[in-house]
A = this chain, B = another copy of it.
């Protein structure tokens, strides 16, 4: 069972995550978090050392939410092809209905933190590693079980897959054209069916 303190901590994280993910680290103020959580000024500092620590937990929470959402879709699919297509389906209209407000935390935090906020950059890098690792696993199993061509460069294929998605999210969001992402997802789908499969 969760202690009261742990509950409060979790509450703060869950309220703060969409704010950080939307506004970015620098533009998110403690006041924003106070208001969102309903806590008093000092109440936060009982649970966290400071803004940095909240930001880290908020990112990890946001990323885990993403991973969990993806994993539940993937698990339902027995084949590697099915898993990849499930991922693509997950991202359909993602800029309209993202799993967390603000869109992909990996993209947001990476770009936000890469030059300035080392402790966040580090977490984002680890998250990316995990994400790419999962994709590679799926593709690798597809190769091993004969679904996909043996000649595939698994690592490259995974990176390519994710790059298109993230690039697509960025473009769709800034231009307010969700179709930009969807079109790319369709392209990836054809790529999976036409180029990866035997």
Contacts and interface: CB of A to CB of B under 8 A. Distances in A.
Interface of A: 22-27, 102-103, 107-108, 110-116, 121, 124-125, 128-129, 132, 155-156, 159-160, 162-168, 170-171, 173-176, 180, 183-184, 187
A162 B172 CA distance: 12
A134 B176 CA distance: 20
A187 B195 CA distance: 13
**Best-buried of A24, A108, A163, A173 by chain B (most CB within 10 Å):** A163
Contact of A125 (B156, B160, B176): B176
Contacts of A114: 103, 173-174
A107 B170 contact: yes
B162 A171 contact: yes
A184 B160 contact: yes
B115 A107 contact: no
B112 A170 contact: no
Contact of A183 (B27, B156, B162): B156
**Best-buried of A22, A171, A183 by chain B (most CB within 10 Å):** A171
